[in-house]
A = this chain, B = another copy of it.
Amino acid sequence: MAMVCLSDFEAYAKKYLPKIAWDYFAAGADDCTTRDENILAYKRIRFRPRMLRDVSVMDIRTKILGSEISFPVGIAPTGFHQLAWPDGEKSTARAARAMNTCYIASTYSTCTLEEISAAAPGGLRWFQLYIHRNRVASQQLVRRAEALGFRALVLTADLPYTGKRRDDVRNGFRLPPHMKLKNLEGAFEVCKMSPLDPSVTWNDIYWLRSLTRLPIIIKGILTREDAELAVRHGVQGIIVSNHGGRQLDEGPATIDALVEVVEAVRGRVEVYVDGGIRKGSDVLKALALGAKCVFIGRPALWGLAYKGEEGLQDVLRILQDEFRLSMALAGCASVSEIGPHLVQFSKL
């Protein structure tokens, strides 16, 4: 079967992954309304394409926090890549480097940060962080990431507790015995009690700032109020995210929330978005609405499930080709020409 678009990878993954792994990756909270809305909301945005502009030379590169990437699509932090492919996050790191884009490694990786770094030296990587009850554990992770050359910290803000994902409850989901949350080994006992600290507040950004010179990006912001607080607390970037619809169900689709966050931020920090990206034209829409870059979660896992790093490169390459083509067909030859004039919200 030809792998023509991202849905082909989704169908493959659904067919070949163990059910418990597929269910875990696919899960949304409660009724999965927000998970699905992330995708549907893109369909309500319509292009206003412009004709007869010179699109013979296309430049789809962009910069995030000063680093150039080959096109504005990075890898969002997701856990447990070994559930998708034996080499796990090492494959992810290699694919991201091969495609010259950014990979946000998750705290919940099944490879250590050291293994990830060694797998793809020189790749652009950020590190996703939860703040743990055991603050020393978090501090150590931050220091390791900084020492290994990760170039930013991505603090996940939307998981004081884990969302209710019904299939995981039904399946009694847990990692197979041969997989480990390797970055957390020794630091604390997993699974007895959630190691995450639900008392974290905005002031903890200052604590985090005191630990590191890396830029801090906050992930999980969905309102203008929180966007303003993020800027005031000195973060360098915001990822508009609802955790793939896995936390609070029936919040806004991320592409809808992006609009109000971008308005509130007024260019003071970079804004990114994840959730619901399935086509190159979705990337174009996100950029038109003010995102500097998007990050893909489940599609990256489907790519891994298909053929490891090669499969993930296939996914990224398809997105890249589709993004370039949709830019050209909309009349933009470079990312700098993308703007809100390109889109309108459908009334339906």
Contact = CB atoms under 8 A, between A and B. Distances in A.
Interface of A: 2, 4-5, 30-31, 33, 43-56, 157-158, 160-161, 163-164, 166, 169-170, 197-202, 204-205, 218, 220-223, 225-226, 229, 247-252, 279, 281, 321-322, 325-326, 328-330, 344, 348
A4 B51 contact: no
5 contacts: A30-B322, A49-B222, A49-B248, A50-B223, A164-B322
Contacts of A200: 52, 54
Nearest to A251: B47
A33 B205 CA distance: 43
Contact of A225 (B50, B158, B220, B330): B50
B201 A54 contact: yes
Contacts of A221: 51
Nearest to A324: B161
Contacts of A2: 169-170
A13 to B, nearest CB: 18
A144 B126 CA distance: 60
A314 to B, nearest CB: 14
Contacts of A164: 321-322, 325
Nearest to A221: B51
A285 B45 CA distance: 24
Given A30-B281, A163-B329, A248-B329, A49 B158 contact: yes
Contacts of A4: 166, 169-170
A161 B327 CA distance: 11
A347 to B, nearest CB: 8
Contacts of A170: 2, 4
Interface centre among A221, A222, A251 (most CB of B within 10 A): A251
Contacts of A53: 201
A49 to B, nearest CB: 5
Contacts of A5: 30, 166
A249 B46 CA distance: 9
Contacts of A161: 55, 325, 328-329
Contacts of A33: 43
B158 A329 contact: yes
A198 B200 CA distance: 53
Contact of A160 (B201, B220, B329): B329
